[in-house]
Chain A
């Protein structure tokens, strides 16, 4: 057995053992902070809670006179092409938004940052910045606000607002 082999066998065994532990929520707070490169995979696809909702980001402006504009949809989803089974780059942007929204919901649920701390977190800032650039501001708009709308169902879609931000300066 070569020296490299002698080193790699225990390393691989340890990697597999940590991967097994990382599938359980109890061990994730210990492992996640040390896994910046995501070398420990999470294999619990679509479980225990499968994604049965679509998330939509909307934005509106508040004008100088205090009135607000209508909500405008922030474009994230692209319609899935017929060849998506082979080529589907559009899935990435919706996955990024889903991840950011899940992070916001997790932070809210955890309660560590609180309502005042949430606007300083990365997923919040990411969505805020993207929304502010993706939708042209109202000519009289001085501040803007974002909201997350969740939709379920296919033919009869049900909409629900799950998050409303404060107003932020343009």
Chain B
């Protein structure tokens, strides 16, 4: 790909991506700050235990500071600062601060993942992915390098596709999902369940099987979004967004919404490029 001016749709994609990344960064950092007690000596993520891991980086005196509560607070504040910088309105809607902010968020993700080891979830993984993709896109926009910006789009669209497809395929391989028992089983838990949904699902096995198969089929067929016409593509992504909002409502998976939605602008651009290339446009 030659070095050409960045197309407005790439800048638009970056703007939406970074706003949603900022939303996730602020939310996840605030929730971690609320959970600082977990990192204390008597907490579930006590360094007195997690520090026993072999192969830890740094010499001992430095290590104690690197994993201390004050350092964790600094890392989370840098994530918050990164999120706020991403929300700054630049005259051309994307500015040099975006790259630094995305990298700060990415580094904070890597650090928190390393420090906590336990308790990470899919929203943390997708947040890390989006920060990486946004950093590459920002670098492409800052350097006026369309190829580089497309690399970030490729990363985000690729990971989103893998995420939905792998989730669907793993459910397809599971008898509990195929038989419809997964929905009721999960809804009956305190951790991810919902009492209203559990009572509703209890006497409706047909409904449970339908919802399980709907999840399996739609997730597994997610790669088809790359050949759908624009109208159907937008409708499909709206359905996936509704799926994440319903997971937030019924399962308390609030932090999944923002990073997953942040990949959609890249999916839309990648779909458009693939349809152009395949002569489907």
Q: Is the interface of B mostly helix, strand, loop or mixed?
A: helix
Given A50-B186, A99-B119, also A23-B254 (CB < 8 A): no
Q: How far does the alpha carbon of A96 sit from the alpha carbon of B55 in the complex, in Å?
A: 22
Given A47-B171, A51-B192, A130-B44, also A37-B186 (CB < 8 A): no
Residue in A42, A96, A151, A154 whose beta carbon sits within 8 Å of that of B198 in the complex:
A154
Return chain A residues, CB-CB under 8 Å to B44: 76, 93, 96-97, 100, 126, 130
CB atoms of A46 and B254 under 8 A apart: no
> How many interface contacts (CB-CB < 8 Å) are there between A and B?
215
CB atoms of A4 and B148 under 8 A apart: yes
Nearest CB of B to A3, in Å: 10
CB atoms of B162 and A20 under 8 A apart: yes
Binds B, one of A63-71, A79-87, A159-167: A79-87
Q: Does B128 contact A (CB under 8 A)?
A: yes
Q: Which of A37, A42, A85, A99 has the most CB of B within 10 A?
A: A85
Residue in B55, B139, B155 whose beta carbon sits within 8 Å of that of A12 in the complex:
B155
Nearest CB of B to A77, in Å: 6
Q: Does B281 contact A (CB under 8 A)?
A: no
How many interface residues does chain B have, given as a range? Answer: 35 or more
Given A5-B151, A77-B191, A86-B254, also A126-B177 (CB < 8 A): no
Q: Does B53 contact A (CB under 8 A)?
A: yes
Q: Does A1 contact B (CB under 8 A)?
A: yes
Q: Does A142 contact B (CB under 8 A)?
A: no
Residue in B55, B110, B147, B163 whose beta carbon sits within 8 Å of that of A1 in the complex:
B147
CB closest chain-B residue, reference A50: B182
Q: Does A41 contact B (CB under 8 A)?
A: yes
Return chain B residues, CB-CB under 8 Å to A85: 245, 248-249, 252, 254
Q: How far does the alpha carbon of A87 sit from the alpha carbon of B164 in the complex, in Å?
A: 24
Q: How far does the alpha carbon of A57 sit from the alpha carbon of B89 in the complex, in Å?
A: 48
Q: Does A44 contact B (CB under 8 A)?
A: yes
Given A12-B151, A39-B110, A88-B31, also A94-B191 (CB < 8 A): yes
Return chain B residues, CB-CB under 8 Å to A53: 189
Residue in A5, A41, A88, A130 whose beta carbon sits within 8 Å of that of B252 in the complex:
A88
CB atoms of A36 and B167 under 8 A apart: no
Q: Does A15 contact B (CB under 8 A)?
A: yes
Can you list 12 pairs linking A and B with CB atoms under 8 Å apart?
A8-B136, A38-B113, A38-B124, A46-B167, A52-B186, A52-B188, A85-B245, A86-B248, A89-B34, A126-B118, A129-B48, A153-B188
List the interface of chain A (C-beta within 8 A of B).
1-2, 4-5, 8-9, 12, 15-16, 19-20, 23, 36-39, 41-54, 76-77, 80, 84-89, 91-100, 103, 122-123, 125-126, 129-130, 133-134, 151-155
